[in-house]
A and B are shown apart, each in its own frame.
Chain A
Amino acid sequence: MVKMTESTYRIQGGTGEWEVVIGLEVHAQITSKSKLFSGASTEFGAEPNTQVSLVDAAMPGMLPTLNAECVRQAVRTGLAINAQINKYSRFDRKNYFYADLPQGYQISQLYHPIVGEGVIQISLDEKDPDAHGKAIGVERIHIEQDAGKLMHDQHPTMSYVDLNRCGVALMEIVSKPDMTSPKEAAAYVRKLRSILRYVGSCDGNMEQGSMRADVNVSVRKPGGELGTRTETKNVNSMRFIQAVIEYEAQRQVDLIEDGGTVVQETRLFDPDRNETRSMRSKEDAHDYRYFPDPDLLPLELEDDFIFDCKASLPELPDEKRARYKNVLGLSAYNAAVLTAEHETALWFEQLLDTSDEPEKIASSAANWVTSELFGALNRLGVGIENSPVSPAQAAELLGLVADGTISGKIAKQVFEIMLETGDGAKKIVEEQGLVQESDTGAIEKVIAEVMAANEDKVAQYRDGKDKLFGFFVGQTMKAMQGKANPQVVNELLKKILG
């Protein structure tokens, strides 16, 4: 693995260059129908307080019971980042008072998390990820309960609380402080999100709060001792994560260079003003009084369970990318782009599956997906899972190009019609008479007409003005409404013009 060298991120201060050290704690909502310790639904967007069980509302005498699906998803996630799976883990109570936390404690895993150290490969170079990759360490993954939501805008003097989210299962994925630039942090979150979505353990939806990050930032002179870090809580977009790092790094450098010291504290990001603000310092920090939850037994995993979790994993993005490159012969860029999102890869593979010899069509299909299809989807503003053209329809279109029925240029035209009408490529080509003309007789006839109409240019070409060859190709194609097989046109023109 080649270390990243080109993108060293530095803050220029009055006293010289500063290096930024970043660690992320990503909270990812586990995909499960019911909550971590209760049977209440986790569906997003329900009316407030309609998905709250007696356990979630912390009624007297209620007890948590662990949702096995959440455990399974956490283990699968750990396996997907080659992490150590801890066969013994335990739940602890994190005690603090807040209106969105009915129990007065969050059930989490401080002392014995379910997943230990793992690693996530990132890259800043989309064109050639392998050449510029970097390994970011993951310290641990633990599972814990989410809190409810306070609503301050419902009443002039009171705050309301919605407990629908209360008790929903989260994975907290804690990175090592291995990132050194906002771009690396963004690449890490992007890659993590991709893996979670491949695994199916989190939908990665940042707008709905399914994924959010606590961003730890410190600065130091390059290679020096680690500085004091600040933690900016609950940052919920890729752009904001980068903004927090940029702002915090600059603020800390300015502070230190002005003779101040960075205080270890919790901060909040204000997206309107693009700045972070102090929430509470270490001195006012909560004493969470963690201790093992006596309502829950230690969680002990059997080898068979872990084996089944492993067996249930799909091909993951890095393996898939390698296969696309090495087996399907795709370019590094295409392989990277097609595997970044699981849906894209699945769509692409469905397209390949229509062929008996997928390797033969892989490259042209990949080119078509990354250029034509992505362009169209971008324009329409839809994801590939909602593509108006199905993989089978795309295969039909590409098949017509491959067997020479239509030219690449006509294919673009046919694709546009497919997008508009939903019709199949063959039907469009037949109805609109777009079949490519490869009949040499017909083409020769047109060439003769073009030459007759442009005798001067023929003479000039024959006098050595080679550049005019393109003119004749264009005129011939134009006269045939683009339906002529360009290869045949080229060959015939060369022969006839001499």
Chain B
Amino acid sequence: MTEIYDLGIAGIRSGIADGDFTAREVAETFNARVSAAKPLNAFLVETPEHALAAADATDKARAAGETLGKMAGVPIGMKDLFCTQGVETTAASGILKGFVPQYESTVSANLFQAGAGMLGKLNLDQFAMGSSNETSAFGNVISPWRRNDGGNSDLTPGGSSGGSAAVVSGRIAPAATGTDTGGSIRQPAAFTGITGFKPTYGRCSRWGTIAFASSLDQAGPMAHDVRDCAIMLEAMAGFDAKDSTSLDLPVPDWEAALNSNLAGKKIGIPKEYRVENMPAEIDALWQKGIEMLKDAGAHIVDVSLPHTKYALPAYYIIAPAEASSNLSRYDGVRYGLRDLPDGAGLQDMYAATREAGFGPEVKRRIMIGTYVLSAGYYDAYYTQAQKVRTLISQDFDKAWKSCDLLLAPTAPSAAFGLGEKMDDPLAMYLNDVFTVPSSLAGLPAMSVPAGLDGKGLPLGLQIIGKALDEQSVFNAGLAIEERAGFVAKPEQWW
């Protein structure tokens, strides 16, 4: 019999509905998994009572014959970028240590409203800045996955949603929230063999989510499979008057419309994504993906996104520029860390607090962002980057004239070892090369697990869709999922 902890959202939903188990049993199962998973360092805060309370509410509602919410009885992990009322929220930064919000982010509130409980707050790259979860002020998350070469070196779960990816792939949580600014949902999903979905910019409210780069940040689900992502995104998304960039549109019933028959769909293969030195295994996976989509009835077309090579440089100007301003509020005056040396004045307090509270990668991005916005450099960097962003959006618009979706690898490699890239920020930034363009254009995109590399590590394929056409992305993802038959799981070593 399938263990409860192997179930995803849909499995838990039907198990509870059928009376196979109670929501409380589910919560207790995962609470125990969370307690036992400390070696992974995936949770910054554990909230077993929250999961139990939500479970009891679900059991009670079911007993009373009430209609259950989409996420009823599902205990999830919450990336610690979402402010949670009464639960410490730090964005994995020392500068927010001890900060307990008095408010609930819209996304977490929506999920709780839909019946989800919370197992705890998940580790991440500090302020979501990183691709390996190594910039957290509270230690790395260690991936549940290990190479099959007999070596036991610790691997990265990817980042910035590293804690989310680790717990879902390790069956420690059935699903988790993620946020994606330049690939922070998709790359860790690919590294850990799970499914991660970044919706169209504006689908999920950013209210109460700690900001990294406002024009790019989007919340999304990280779960076992496409169906779970569809269910969870329905619960997370929706118009929020408190976020001016939120889309005032109804949330479609993506789950109900799931359909892996791609007859009539045209899938574009962007030639510029065939980067130099791409590992043969990634290229082979991409070919496999093309075959799978053909098999599902899709027509494959070659497309060009000519400005792709400028996407990464533009992203690493725009995101740090916004971050440098967004992070100004962490000044030691009102909340979080305050470092006030003897006899210090206001400026000294700012300097000491920010010196002590921010990690090196955050400081690097604040400095880059400050530089590119400063007088005399603004036009050369920020304005140029915005023009590139427009050109990249136009590339996609042109591509949509000949196709409905794009297929590409999610990341240029499988998960790497912790510490392997920390000394080389540029090598680290290259992790985002396939995910950043769609972020800049605000398009929906997902990563689905599609195979293993030679060392037994998961690899993901990415599907990018038109703005607001999440449904087609889900459907193509489902087609790959059905054909890839990805069932690999990490062995439990922790």
Say whether B234 faces chain A, with CB atoms less than 8 Å apart: no
Main secondary structure of the interface of A (DSSP, over half): loop
Whether A291 contacts B325 by the Cβ 8 Å rule is yes
A297 on the interface (CB 8 Å rule)?
A: yes
Q: Decide if A289 touches B105 in the complex (CB within 8 Å).
A: no
CB distance from B296 to the nearest CB of A (A): 38
Q: In the complex where A58-B329, A60-B99, A99-B346 touch, is A297 in contact with B375 (Cβ < 8 A)?
A: no
Is B244 in contact with A291, judged by CB distance below 8 angstroms? no
Contact (Cβ within 8 A) B325 A63: no
- Bound: A105/B329 CA distance, A: 8
Q: List the 4 closest pairs (A to B, CB-CB), nearest first.
A: A104-B328, A289-B373, A294-B214, A294-B215
Q: Which residue of A lies closest to B376 (CB)?
A: A287
Report the separation of the CA atoms of residues A65 and B214 in the bound assembly, to the nearest whole angstrom.
14
Q: A59-B335, A61-B82, A97-B347 are in contact. List 19 more A-B contacts (CB 8 A).
A: A58-B329, A60-B91, A62-B208, A95-B325, A97-B331, A102-B333, A104-B327, A104-B329, A105-B328, A291-B321, A291-B373, A291-B378, A291-B382, A294-B214, A295-B211, A295-B244, A296-B244, A297-B244, A297-B245
Q: Is the CB of B83 within 8 A of A287?
A: no
Interface of chain A residues 61 through 76 with chain B (CB within 8 A): 61-66
- Is A103 an interface position by the 8 A CB rule? yes
- Asked whether A401 is an interface residue with its Cβ less than 8 Å from the other chain, the reply is no
Whether the pair A65, B244 counts as a contact (CB closer than 8 A) is: yes
B222: A residues at CB distance < 8 A: none
Q: B residues touching A (Cβ–Cβ < 8 Å)? A: 82-83, 89, 91, 96, 99, 101-103, 105, 206-211, 213-215, 241-245, 321-322, 324-325, 327-329, 331, 333-335, 346-347, 350, 370, 373-375, 378, 382
Task: Decide yes or no whether A161 CB sits under 8 A from chain B.
Answer: yes
Name which residue of chain A comes closest to B246, CB basis.
Answer: A63
A286 shortest CB reach to chain B, Å: 10
Q: Looking at the complex, which one of A65, A103, A291, A294 makes contact with B329 (CB distance below 8 Å)?
A: A103
Closest CB of chain B to A52's CB: distance in Å? 10
Tell me which of A95, A105, A289 has the highest count of chain B C-beta atoms within 10 A of its own C-beta. A289
Number of A-B pairs, beta carbon distance below 8 Å = 99
A288-306 to B contact mask, C-beta < 8 Å, 1/0? 0111001111000000000
Contact between B370 and A289, CB atoms less than 8 A apart: yes
Say whether B373 contacts A97, CB under 8 Å. no
User: Which residues of the partner chain A approach B242 to less than 8 Å between Cβ atoms?
Assistant: 63, 65
What residues on A are CB-neighbors of B375 within 8 Å? 287, 289
Tell me the minimal C-beta distance from A95 to chain B in angstroms.
Answer: 5
| Residue in A58, A95, A296 whose CB lies within 8 Å of B334 | A58
- A60 engages B325 (CB within 8 Å): no
Contact B101 A105 (CB under 8 A): no
How far is it, in angstroms, between the C-alpha of A105 and the C-alpha of B89 when the chains are bound?
Answer: 23
B-contacting residues of A (Cβ < 8 Å)?
54, 57-66, 93, 95, 97-99, 102-105, 159, 161, 287, 289-291, 294-297
Contact, CB under 8 Å: B334 / A102: yes
A61/B83 in contact, CB under 8 A = yes
Contacts of B382 in A (CB 8 A): 291
CB-defined contacts of B243 to chain A, threshold 8 Å? 63, 65
- Contact status A61-B209, CB under 8 Å: yes
Kindly report which residue of chain A lies nearest to residue B374, judged by CB atoms: A287
Q: Please report the C-alpha to C-alpha distance between residue A209 and residue B129 in the assembled complex, in whole angstroms.
A: 42
Alpha-carbon distance A103/B243, docked complex (angstroms): 16
* Closest A residue, CB atoms, query B347: A97
Using known A-B contacts A60-B83, A63-B207, A294-B215, determine if residue A95 contacts B244 with beta carbons closer than 8 Å: no
> Which of chain A's residues has its CB closest to B127's CB?
A60
Of chain B, the residue at the smallest CB distance from A288 is B375
Q: Looking across the interface, which residue of chain B has its beta carbon closest to that of A64?
A: B244
Closest to B375 in A: A287
Closest CB in chain B relative to A221 CB, distance in Å: 32
> A158 — nearest CB in chain B belongs to which residue?
B340
Taking CB atoms, residues of chain B closer than 8 Å to A290 are 373, 378
Say whether, besides A294-B214, A295-B244, A59 and B103 are in contact (CB < 8 Å): yes
Known interface pairs A65-B242, A161-B333. Does A93 touch B325 (Cβ–Cβ under 8 Å)?
A: yes
Closest chain-A Cβ to B463's Cβ sits at a distance in Å of 26
B333 & A99 in contact (Cβ 8 Å cutoff): yes
With beta carbons under 8 angstroms apart, the residue of B215, B328, B374 that contacts A97 is: B328
* Complex Cα–Cα for A63 and B350 (A): 23
| Interchain CB contact under 8 A, B331 and A104 | yes
Q: How far is the CA of A28 from the CA of B374 in the complex (A)?
A: 29
Choose from A59, A64, A103, A287 the contact partner of B101 (Cβ within 8 Å): A59
CA distance A104 to B370 in the complex (A): 13
Q: Complex Cα distance A415/B346, Å?
A: 61
Inter-chain contacts of B241 with A (CB < 8 A): 65
B335 contacts across to A, CB distance below 8 A: 59-60
Query: For the complex, what is the distance from the CA of A54 to the CA of B209, rounded to whole Å?
Result: 13
Most interface-central of A105, A291, A297 (chain B CB within 10 A):
A291
Report yes or no: A63 in contact with B328, Cβ–Cβ below 8 A: no
User: Nearest Cβ distance between residue A103 and chain B, in whole angstroms?
Assistant: 5
- Contacts A54-B103, A104-B329 given: A295-B245 contact, CB under 8 Å? yes
Contacts of A161 in B (CB 8 A): 333
